[in-house]
Structure 1
Amino acid sequence: MPDRESVTVLLPTYDEAATIGDCVDDFRAEGFDDVLVMDGDSDDDTRELAREAGARVEIQSGAGKGQAVREAVREHIDREYVLMADGDGTYLAEEADRMLAPLDDGYEHVIGDRFADMEEGAMTRLNQVGNKLTNRLFSLIHGEAFEDILSGYRAFSRSSFGRLRLSADGFGIETEMAVECAKHDIPTTVVPITYLERPAGSNTNLHPIRDGSIIFLELFRRAKTNNPLFYFGSVGVVSGLAGTLIAAYVAVEWFIYEIPHQIWALAGAAGILLGVQLLMFGVLSDLILTLHREQLDRIEAIDEDGA
C-alpha cells in the first residue's frame, strides 16, 4: 500500500461548509498529512473551515468540478498518488486503505463502487436509475464493466492522470476519466465502498436532469473515437428506422387510398439512404480503428524489444 507521504487527498468543493471540516478531520485522522481542498470560490465558510481543520486550500481559476480536478492535479499536487473524494461527507475516510491498496498491485486507477453498500436515502430513485443506465451504456460502448463510473471516490497515480485527455468542466469529469482509462488501457479496478446519505444541512450541487444529460452526451460523444461502429451505427439505425416507417406510411396511403405524398416519400428515402451510409461509415471507421490499434501494438512491441 502506498505510504501516506506519497498520497495527496483531493477534495473538490463548492459551498460545503456543513461537512468539509469533519471530512478533512476524518482524512487527517487516518494519517494523511496533505489534504488539498480545491474550492470553486464558495459563498459560504468552506475555505475557512477547511483551513481550520488543517487542509491546504486553493481557489480554482475556473468553474466546475472537472476544471477543479484538472487544475489541482496539474498545478497543486506533486505527490505520486491522488486519493479523490467529495467534501460532502458521503464517503468514508476509513476506507482509504481499501482504495489505495490496488495501486501496489499494478493498477493505476481505482474506482469506488457505491452500489456495493449504499445507505438508504443516499441516492434518489431517479439518480439510481440514471446511474445504472449510464453504467450499462458505458459497458456496451467500451466493453469494460467499471460498475460505477460516476463515483467520486477514486485513487490514481499522477502519471496515469497525465495520460488522460480531459476537457469536462462539470460533473462529467468522472465519466470522462472512465472513458479515457478504457481508451488508453490504463489498468483500472473497482473496489466496494460505503456510500452515505448527505448529512443534514448539506445540499447537493448536482442537478439530475441537467447534469445527467451532460453525462449521457459526453459518454456518447466519446464513443466516436473508441467505438465508432456504435457511434455512427446507432444514429444510422435510428435514421434507417425512421425512413422505413415514413416509407411504409407513404406506401399504404398510395396503394390503398391512392393519395400521393411526394415530400414524405423523399424524406423516407433520405432517411433510409442516410442510415445505410452511416452504418457503412461506422463499419469502415471501426476497421480503421482496429488497424490503428494493431499498428500501435506492433510499435510498442518493437520499442520493448529494443529496450
Structure 2
Amino acid sequence: MDDLAILIPCYNEGITIGKVVRDCINDTKDLHCKVNIYVYDNNSNDNTVEEALKNGATVRHEYQQGKGNVIRRMFREIDAKCYILIDGDDTYPTEDIPKMYEMVINKNVDMVVGDRLSSSYFEENKRPFHNLGNRLVRGSINTLFKSNIRDIMTGYRAFSYQFVKAYPVLSKGFEIETDMSIFAIENNMAISNMIINYRDRPEGSQSKLNTYSDGFRVLRRIFNLYRDYHPMRFFTIISALLFIIAGIVFVPEVLIPYLKTGLVEKMPTLVVCIFLGIAGIVSWYSGLVLDSVLQKEKREFEFRLQLIREKFNENHIS
C-alpha cells in the first residue's frame, strides 16, 4: 500500500504531463513517505504516454473513454492511505499536495477540495461560459444539498482510503466531480475546502470539456441525485404541484358552477382533476416508500464503512 498515490487522468496532455509529473516529484520529496505517481492514459493519440514514462510516472491505461471511467479504474486498482487527484494540464499548483496530504492523514478529512473559485480562477480562465457554469453548479448544489463546497467542478482533490473504497463510480464523464461532491455531502463525510491558485492552460493545450453538452449533463446529474438522495422532498414537491394545478382548474370550472346550478357542467374537467389528485397521492406515497429505502441504505452504508476500515487495517499491517 502506498502512503500517497498521485492520480493523473490524461487524454492528449503531451504538452504538459511531463512538467506535472516532475513538479509532483519535486514537491513531495520532503514528505518522507512512500509516494507513487500514476498516469492513467485514456486513449491518447499524442505523446502523453512517452512523456509520462520519461519523467518517472507509472503509466496505466483505461480504454473506455471518459473521465469517470478513468477514475473508476484508478479507485479500483490503487490502494493508498491518501490519494491526490490532479489533472495533467498544468493548471493546478502541485506545491499544495503536502498540505492536502497532511489534512487527510492528520485531520481525518475524507475529501479536500482544491478551491479555484475563491482565488484566481475568474481572472485566469478565458472561457466566460465556464465561469457562469461553475457559479451555477456551485449555487445549485449548495442550495439543494445544504452544503458549503466552494468549488464543485475542480479536478484537484485529496481523498482518504475510506472515501475511495466506499464511493461507487457511476458517472462516465466530466460530471464525476459533481457526483463525488454530492456523495460526500450526503454520506456525512468530512469535507474541507483549500484555496489554491489556478492558472489557465498553456498555449497549445486544449480543454476536453464541452461547455454546453457536458454542462447539461452536470445539471441533469444534479437533478437525478437530488431525486435519489431526497425522494421525500422531491416527490412531495411534485405532489403539491399536481394538487395546485387540480385546484386551480377545479374551483372555477367545476366547483363554482356546481354551487350555482347544482350540476357538473364540465364532466371531462372533473375527471382530469380527479386523476391529477390521484397522481398527487401516488407521488407522495412514492416519496414515502423511497425515503424508507434510503434510510435502510444509509444504515447499510455505515456498516460497509466498518468493513472498509478493517480492510485498511489489514493492508496497513501487511
TM-score range, shorter chain: 0.7 to 0.9
Residues matched between the structures, number: 291
Are 1:27 and 2:24 an aligned pair? yes
Amino acid at match of 1:183: E
Are 1:218 and 2:221 an aligned pair? yes
Q: Which residue matches 1:59?
A: 61
Deviation of 1:226 after TM superposition, in Å, equals 1.9
**Distance of aligned partners of 1:285 and 1:98 in 2 relative to their CA distance in 1, 3 Å threshold:** same
Are 1:130 and 2:127 an aligned pair? no
Are 1:172 and 2:156 an aligned pair? no
**Distance of aligned partners of 1:113 and 1:296 in 2 relative to their CA distance in 1, 3 Å threshold:** closer
1:203-260 residue CA offsets vs partner (Å, 9 max, x unmatched): 1110121111211222222223321123323444555566667769978xx9xxxxx9
User: What secondary structure is seen at the aligned counterpart in 2 of 1:117?
Assistant: coil
Q: Which residue matches 1:69?
A: 71
**Distance of aligned partners of 1:242 and 1:291 in 2 relative to their CA distance in 1, 3 Å threshold:** same
Alpha-carbon distance in 1 for matches of 2:215, 2:241: 22
Structure 2: stretches of 5+ with no match in the other structure: 30-34, 258-264, 306-318
- Map of 1:277-288 to 2, 5 A cutoff? 277-282=282-287, 285-286=290-291
Alpha-carbon distance in 2 for matches of 1:155, 1:180: 15
User: What secondary structure is seen at the aligned counterpart in 2 of 1:91?
Assistant: coil
Deviation of 1:48 after TM superposition, in Å, equals 0.9
Contact (CA 8 Å) 2:27, 2:98: kept in 1 or not? Answer: no
**Distance of aligned partners of 1:263 and 1:170 in 2 relative to their CA distance in 1, 3 Å threshold:** farther
Identity %: 25
Q: Which residue matches 1:305?
A: none
Q: Which residue matches 1:195?
A: 198
TM-score normalised per structure 1:
0.80
Structure 1: stretches of 5+ with no match in the other structure: 255-259, 301-307
Q: Which residue matches 2:103?
A: 102
Q: Which residue matches 1:16?
A: 13
Alpha-carbon distance in 1 for matches of 2:114, 2:301: 31
Deviation of 1:40 after TM superposition, in Å, equals 0.4
Q: Which residue matches 1:257?
A: none
Alpha-carbon distance in 2 for matches of 1:73, 1:249: 59
**Root mean square deviation of aligned Cα:** 3.3
1:264-290 residue CA offsets vs partner (Å, 9 max, x unmatched): 776566445434542454356446655
Are 1:274 and 2:286 an aligned pair? no
TM-score normalised per structure 2:
0.78
